[in-house]
A and B are shown apart, each in its own frame.
Chain A
Amino acid sequence: MIKIKNLSASIDDKPILKGIDLSIGKGEVHAIMGPNGSGKSTLSYVLAGRDDYEVTGGSATFNGADLLAMEPEERVTAGLFLAFQYPVEIPGVQMSTFLKEAMNSIRRRKGEEELDALSFLKKMKTAAKNLGISDEMIKRSVNTGCSGGEKKRNEALQMAMLEPSFAILDETDSGLDIDALKIVADGVNALRSPERSFLVITHYQRLLDYIVPDYVHVLAHGRIVKSGGPDLAKELEAKGYAEFMQAEEAA
């Protein structure tokens, strides 16, 4: 589904990603772990198409299409979703309005009919209920006046509504207490299916207790330095990232 080959990217001429190779198959959940500054968030932004990052080499395809040539909104239309580490506030725009506009925009791009207000509301109410999001929260402006945990739940809600085929979760666990973490993880697990792939980016192993990955990769200094099964995450939790940091310094 996703094929990343020798991907390099920089921001303000500073190289961050230095040749990433990663293949994610249909229905697979991959986790990327790594120390701060290793390029985890950069990878998620580059895949989602943020302008400030310059791709300097390599390729990324999504179901065979050149992902890097698409505008951010085209990537969404193709089925990519990014749950933000720091969800952005949009004052004055209600979450429900925001979601409806976004979903209809995607539908128009696909040549589909727009959602009618009633079926949209029904769908949103169900999704919100599953994530413990109250009506009052939905009426608030997007992420405005929300706690860290509420923002992450909003991200999960949007993911449930947009039904992506490939979702990237960028440090979804940061800023969450254990109860909120469980709710969000349950939300993600409910979306797991043979048709849907995930890339879970995290610093800590804790999240992977709840969202159990098929593969774990370690990212350090802009490269994937080790790959393995779920056990690798536990190993990292015990030993920390020191080994990989030194490896880079030696090289």
Chain B
Amino acid sequence: MSDVLQDLNQLDKMGRQYEAGFETDIEMDYAPKGLNEDIIRLISEKKGEPEWMLDWRLAAYRHWLTMPEPDWAKINHPPIDYQDSYYYAAPKSMNKPKSLDEVDPKILEAYAKLGIPLREQEVLAGVEGAPRVAVDAVFDSVSVATTFKETLKEAGVIFCSMSEAIREHPELVKKYLGSVVPPRDNKHACLNSAVFTDGSFVYIPKGVKCPMELSTYFRMNATNTGQFERTLIIADEGSYVSYLEGCTAPMRDENQLHAAVVELIVHDDAEIRYSTVQNWYPGDEEGQGGVYNFVTKRALCDGVRSKVSWTQVETGSAITWKYPSCILKGDYSVGEFYSVAITNGRQQADTGTKMLHLGKHTKSRIISKGIAAGRSDGMYRGIVKIMPKAEGARNYTQCDSMLIGDQCGAHTVPYIECRNKTAKLEHEATTSKISEDQLFYCRQRGLSEEEAVALIVNGFCREVLQKLPMEFAVEAQKLVGISLEGSVG
């Protein structure tokens, strides 16, 4: 074995760089530690919610107490002590600020450090010709700002925090909340239904093409606090929206729980593109700390010719448990899943998708790229289910894994269930390693070993990264390199 490969084993020489690992020191308003009905009442009250919302939360909580933890994923962690966490944490200054001028400058600074501009004029003053992005910034349990609300309002688009939507648009929230991911779906989703704090709400009216990209930036800052955001996006007939989601957290020694729920509803001829760059703190090289990222994301392609495209770049979190899925109910509806999942150090990722074909001539496409380095484990887990009425349904699945070093694992578990004879399904899978030849060739052209690995892996993921909106693609490419730092000699 060559020196390079031997060096690959000595992973821990270099700590990996986690640029978003800083902490913002501000006074916080916490709910008491632990979880019980009073805490839920407190959250609901803090948010000024109506009675029906509180009842919904309490019903979810009571059911949650009876539910077992999902145990089918290939992940390992000590039992979660749900009483050892805070379920509500908000910056003290965040008592309903009316404008950005009232927001604590330290919070604005934190977002500036992360490269997220919250002042519209700063966005507008950015690179000429660059697409404008509206941002909903969620800091621990509250949304601190939502930009370009007025511009969007003119187009009829509703883009606001979930808390605000519950107050301002109860009819829409009542109709759609939990319609795709019911509270009893799984234990993590059920917990979210009981204690969710904030998140984004989007409604695109009939025939409207959203005039700008929408994005939510989630930041976990407070210690020992779980983040439970809830996102609900509704695309009415013939509408279109592209939505981006980014996440980071400070470096902490204890594990933090993040259990989010995302629901998408797509009506006739509408389309939602949902992109995620997930960079929660992954823990240190020995597996100390890091975020448990237990997320339920699901889209209902309700209408004829409706379309959903999930694109995710998963580089962070100690554990990722996440399967963005599509229920293809409308005839001719289309579901897509493009995923890059990178694990390093002691990270574990169990991620994939579910494509449920109900309608006629429904189509799905799955492209998954898993990269494992260090002593990490990466798993693609997916289900493609063709139901009896899904005449002429089609699926194409491609799962590629790349291993760096010889102490990591890549696994692929693709389930296929086909109950209609006219369906066509294709599945391709590959597993590869970065070869000595490739590394040497790159270094002979002047690239360092780490630069070479980042470049080769970016090439491996290109098909997926290309699906991201421009401004995310650049960030994602850099992230690929950063998350693999320390994976070679």
Residue positions of A touching B, CB distance < 8 A: 48-52, 71-73, 76-77, 81-82, 84, 87-93, 97-99, 101-103, 105-106, 109, 141, 158, 162
Contacts and interface: CB of A to CB of B under 8 A. Distances in A.
Contact of B462 (A49, A92, A102): A92
B447 A88 contact: no
A169 B434 CA distance: 25
- For the complex of A and B, the 4 pairs showing the least CB-CB separation, nearest first, are A92-B459, A93-B459, A92-B462, A88-B441
A42 to B, nearest CB: 14
B122 interface: no
B442 A102 contact: yes
Interface residues of B, number: 26
B445 interface: yes
Interface string B440-461: 1111111111010001101111
Contacts of B459: 90-93, 141
Contacts of B458: 92-93
Given A51-B2, A51-B3, A103 B446 contact: yes
Given A50-B440, A51-B3, A88-B437, A76 B461 contact: no
B438 interface: yes
Contacts of B445: 76, 98-99, 102, 158, 162
B371 to A, nearest CB: 12
Nearest to A84: B441
B440 A72 contact: yes
Nearest to B445: A102
A139 B440 CA distance: 22
A5 to B, nearest CB: 23
A106 B446 contact: yes
Contact of B446 (A92, A93, A105, A141): A105
Contacts of B435: 88
Interface string B459-474: 1111100000000000
A99 B441 CA distance: 12
Contacts of A77: 446
B436 interface: yes
Contacts, number: 82
B438 to A, nearest CB: 5
Interface of B: 2-4, 435-438, 440-449, 451, 455-456, 458-463
**Residue among A82, A87, A91, A92 with most chain B CB within 10 A:** A92
Given A49-B444, A105-B446, 15 more contacts: A51-B4, A52-B3, A71-B448, A72-B440, A73-B444, A73-B447, A73-B448, A76-B444, A91-B459, A92-B458, A92-B463, A97-B455, A98-B455, A109-B446, A141-B459
A84 B441 CA distance: 8
12 contacts: A48-B440, A49-B443, A51-B2, A51-B440, A73-B447, A73-B448, A88-B437, A90-B456, A93-B455, A99-B445, A105-B446, A162-B446
Nearest to B462: A92
Interface of B is mostly: helix
Contacts of B456: 90, 93
Contacts of A106: 446
**Residue among A48, A71, A81, A101 with most chain B CB within 10 A:** A101
Nearest to B434: A90
A50 B2 CA distance: 10
A8 to B, nearest CB: 18
B20 to A, nearest CB: 24
B436 A51 contact: yes
A131 B458 CA distance: 28
Contacts of A71: 443, 448
B455 A101 contact: yes
Nearest to A11: B2
A90 B444 contact: no
B120 to A, nearest CB: 29
Contacts of B463: 92
Contacts of B451: 101, 105
Contacts of B462: 92-93
Contacts of B441: 84, 87-88, 90
Contact of A92 (B437, B443, B460): B460
Nearest to B459: A92
Nearest to A99: B445
Contacts of A88: 435, 437-438, 440-441
B442 to A, nearest CB: 7
A22 B4 CA distance: 29
B2 A52 contact: yes
A158 B437 CA distance: 17
A92 B461 contact: yes
Nearest to A103: B446
A180 B454 CA distance: 33
B436 A52 contact: yes
B393 to A, nearest CB: 30
Contacts of B4: 51
A90 B447 contact: no
A89 B455 CA distance: 13
Nearest to B460: A92
Contacts of B442: 90, 98, 102
Contact of A101 (B440, B447, B449, B460): B447
A103 B451 CA distance: 12
**Residue among A76, A93, A158 with most chain B CB within 10 A:** A93
Contacts of A141: 459
B458 to A, nearest CB: 7
Contacts of A158: 445
A128 B84 CA distance: 63
Contacts of A50: 440
A71 B459 CA distance: 24
Nearest to B457: A92
Contacts of B437: 88
A62 to B, nearest CB: 14
Nearest to A141: B459
Nearest to A144: B459
Contacts of A98: 442, 445, 455
Given A88-B437, A92-B462, A72 B455 contact: no
A127 B459 CA distance: 24
A105 B448 contact: yes
A46 to B, nearest CB: 12
A92 B464 CA distance: 11
